[in-house]
Structure 1
Amino acid sequence: MFNGLVRSFSIKRVKNNNGNNDAKEAADEMAREAKKKELILKSCGYVYAEGSNNSASVFSKRGEKGVNQDCAIVWEGFGCQEDMIFCGIFDGHGPWGHYVSKQVRNSMPSSLLCHWQKTLAEATLLDPELDFEGSDKSLSRFDIWKQSYLKTCASVDQELEHHRKIDSYNSGSTALTIVRQGEVIYVSNVGDSRAVLATVSDEGSLVAVQLTLDFKPNLPQEKERIIECNGRVFCLKDEPGVHRVWQPDAETPGLAMSRAFGDYCIKEYGLVSVPEVTQRHISPKDHFIILASDGIWDVISNQEAIEVVSSTAERPKAAKRLVEQAVRAWKKKRRGYAMDDMSAVCLFLHSSSSSSSLSEHVHHVTTYK
């Protein structure tokens, strides 16, 4: 079960727009964390911080608000398991947001591997006859991944709070991640980035299925928690419809999401870093999953997004084309507003040779938003 987990990283060197080897930086950080914690977690596989291949496409573009606070990762061969892949989108905010998002990106995968191993081992010790190949294997595996994610997010947030070099008191980051293990995907969401699945309906049309909830402060369950913690939720006069979280007696920090890492100035007033964890079994009708930061979803609908990706002839260019389409849409729909950072990961669920041409479905789509 743990065979190969002590092997070292194999890094796919993909340079970002600034010429920095962001993928290697992320992988090296994971290796350091694993070594520091004295874990047998060094993992083989390929890490992409920006770049593409035929199984996944990654792209990020800086907006008009300063440094790009988004970052992403795709880790093939996650945990030295050939049938596992880890994908994530991290959207920072605040003065130190770009540092926070990178820190969360760099620490979350290795921490998740650690907790997954530990939880899996504990489950096996408690029940030596636990059969992951039996009829209840999906429930058992989901519970193990859910517990691993809950522990990971708690530890990542705690470590971030005590980080010596990053001031996350008024800064934070969202984290939307997916682990694919065989024919099952496990989705963990902290914040307002979104995961959307492209699948074929019973009528034969390519339709969008939203896999995650945008954790905005005005969601009933989120608003209730915030108010119970003496936080406030309201919109500014010049931003009608944009609900934000505020401290009880001050108009700060004004967060537009209800869950995030960091932002300790508002944590006692209802902001949490607890993830929503779900699973989905992949069917032959499921073609790909898009993970994207909220800047894209502000101007592109779920259906529009899958149409853009499905109509892209070359898979490695899919994420870039989606971001470019969102940039054009922003200039038309939100003229006068500074464009947000935009990042996307497109995870293709079947090999290009085994799946039918997605473009065949684009002309027969139904609206699904």
Structure 2
Amino acid sequence: MGNVSTILRRRRRKAKDEFVLRSSGSLSIHGSNNLASVFSRRGQKGPNQDRCIVWEEFGGEEDMMFCGIFDGHGPWGHFVAKKVRDSMPCALLRNWQHALLEASDKKQKLHHIWNHSYLNTCAAIDQELRHHRTVDSFYSGTTALTIVRQGDAIFIANVGDCRAVLGTSSQSGNLVAEQLTIDMKPNLPQEAARISECNGRVYSLQDEAGVPRLWLPDEESPGLAMSRAFGDYCAKDFGLTSVPHLTHRDITSNDHFVVIATDGVWDVISNEEAVEIVAAADEREKCGKRLVECAARAWKRKRKGIAMDDISAIVIFFHSHTFST
């Protein structure tokens, strides 16, 4: 019930790699410019189904970092989100290492290697989840938005409707918001076309105007508000997919931080508002909490009578120096 997220970090002890789970709001490692501020708040629909992860020195590489946010849904959604969160980083690392060894051109662009690694990882995780003995994912699933930072580049894989927004300086020096991902909703033209080809249906309920959902051909279920997810095998033959949407970006001195958050934030907070909230925080370590709390207050103002969703956010700062607003 607490309003904190779980962070996965890596440390060395007695020459042995060890994974350490702890509850925290921020992560900063000595000698690193990276700082992550993480916070999660349970909504009003039951247990908190959001899960978060930050892994500094990903794969033992000093210049690499992995972070992700997972939004579960359905009766087993919190178990599915946890399972995917726990499985993805190690599986991605194995596929990345294999892709490096198999690369015919050693100068092959990094984003091609990461894209290949992410595609293989997401396919394997979804297949593994389908046959999991103790987690029932037939009517439950999770979205997943993950980012790998390697040096001065970030590689993003989005399965679902979480969102990544960059806080960057414009040519005039003003701090602006730039959306890095696409919310994978069923009404997007390419998503709707795939669903239709698979005999799935997309429409909004009368009391949810403007909320398109994915439905089975002859049943009023599952009513998913996203077009990509892990799990939800009841809909996998009807247009739902776990294939990630992949993007990458080179980080410049003008790029200050990236916000990744579940739709509990973006349903009530605009990209510009999110960047302003983070920039205005007195302490970087607490900006994730501040963003989540602002979203919770916005739910009460803008969505009266609607149960508040789980709300989670991770803010990753790229540089140790401050920026002007």
TM-score normalised to the size of structure 2? 0.93
The residue that corresponds to 1:282 in the other structure is: 251
Task: Give CA-to-partner distance per residue, 1:261-295, whole Å, 9 cap, x none.
Answer: 00000000000000011110000000000000001
- Determine the C-alpha separation between the residues in 2 that align with 1:285 and 1:48: 32
Identity across the alignment (%): 60
From the superposition, tell whether residues 229 and 193 of structure 1 become closer, same or farther in structure 2 (CA, over 3 Å): same
Would you say the 8 A contact 1:200–1:286 is kept in 2? Answer: yes
How far is the alpha carbon of 1:49 from its aligned partner?
5.9
How far is the alpha carbon of 1:50 from its aligned partner?
4.1
Would you say the 8 A contact 1:95–1:171 is kept in 2? Answer: yes
- Determine the C-alpha separation between the residues in 2 that align with 1:301 and 1:49: 28
- Determine the C-alpha separation between the residues in 2 that align with 1:86 and 1:47: 15
How far is the alpha carbon of 1:43 from its aligned partner?
5.2
Task: Give CA-to-partner distance per residue, 1:16-59, whole Å, 9 cap, x none.
Answer: 9389x9446x98xxxxxxxxxxxxxx856876664203511111
Whichever residue aligns with residue 91 of structure 2, its letter is S
- Determine the C-alpha separation between the residues in 2 that align with 1:231 and 1:112: 30
Task: Give CA-to-partner distance per residue, 1:125-157, whole Å, 9 cap, x none.
Answer: x34xx24xxxxx5xx211000000000000000
The residue that corresponds to 1:305 in the other structure is: 274
Whichever residue aligns with residue 92 of structure 2, its letter is L
- Determine the C-alpha separation between the residues in 2 that align with 1:217 and 1:183: 33
Q: List gaps (5 residues or longer) in structure 2.
A: 11-15, 29-34
**Aligned-partner SS, 1:53:** strand
Match of 1:190 among 149, 154, 159: 159
The residue that corresponds to 1:213 in the other structure is: 182
Would you say the 8 A contact 1:112–1:149 is kept in 2? Answer: yes
Q: In terms of Rg, which structure is larger? A: 1
C-alpha root-mean-square deviation of aligned residues, in Å?
2.0
Matches within 5 A, 1:175-324: 175-324=144-293
2:76 is the alignment partner of 1:102: no
Task: Give CA-to-partner distance per residue, 1:58-93, whole Å, 9 cap, x none.
Answer: 110000000000010000010000010001000000
2:62 is the alignment partner of 1:62: no
**Aligned-partner SS, 2:265:** helix
2:308 is the alignment partner of 1:350: no
**Aligned-partner SS, 2:241:** coil
- Determine the C-alpha separation between the residues in 2 that align with 1:17 and 1:257: 27
How far is the alpha carbon of 1:115 from its aligned partner?
0.3
Whichever residue aligns with residue 57 of structure 1, its letter is S
Would you say the 8 A contact 2:6–2:51 is kept in 1? Answer: no
Task: Give CA-to-partner distance per residue, 1:169-199, whole Å, 9 cap, x none.
Answer: 0000000000000000001000000000000
- Determine the C-alpha separation between the residues in 1 that align with 2:264 and 2:194: 26
**Aligned-partner SS, 1:88:** strand
From the superposition, tell whether residues 194 and 48 of structure 1 become closer, same or farther in structure 2 (CA, over 3 Å): farther
How far is the alpha carbon of 1:313 from its aligned partner?
1.6
Aligned residues: 315
Would you say the 8 A contact 1:44–1:78 is kept in 2? Answer: no
2:25 is the alignment partner of 1:51: yes
Whichever residue aligns with residue 270 of structure 1, its letter is G
- Determine the C-alpha separation between the residues in 2 that align with 1:48 and 1:154: 29
- Determine the C-alpha separation between the residues in 1 that align with 2:23 and 2:216: 35
Would you say the 8 A contact 2:7–2:52 is kept in 1? Answer: no
Would you say the 8 A contact 1:86–1:179 is kept in 2? Answer: yes
Would you say the 8 A contact 1:68–1:98 is kept in 2? Answer: yes
How far is the alpha carbon of 1:356 from its aligned partner?
3.2
- Determine the C-alpha separation between the residues in 2 that align with 1:96 and 1:332: 30
Would you say the 8 A contact 1:86–1:180 is kept in 2? Answer: yes
Would you say the 8 A contact 1:215–1:222 is kept in 2? Answer: yes
Whichever residue aligns with residue 25 of structure 2, its letter is G
Q: List gaps (5 residues or longer) in structure 1.
A: 1-15, 28-41, 132-136, 362-369
Would you say the 8 A contact 1:195–1:292 is kept in 2? Answer: yes
The residue that corresponds to 2:2 in the other structure is: 17
- Determine the C-alpha separation between the residues in 2 that align with 1:291 and 1:47: 20
**Greater fraction of residues in strand:** 2
- Determine the C-alpha separation between the residues in 2 that align with 1:320 and 1:142: 32
TM-score normalised to the size of structure 1? 0.82
Would you say the 8 A contact 1:174–1:192 is kept in 2? Answer: yes
Would you say the 8 A contact 1:308–1:322 is kept in 2? Answer: yes
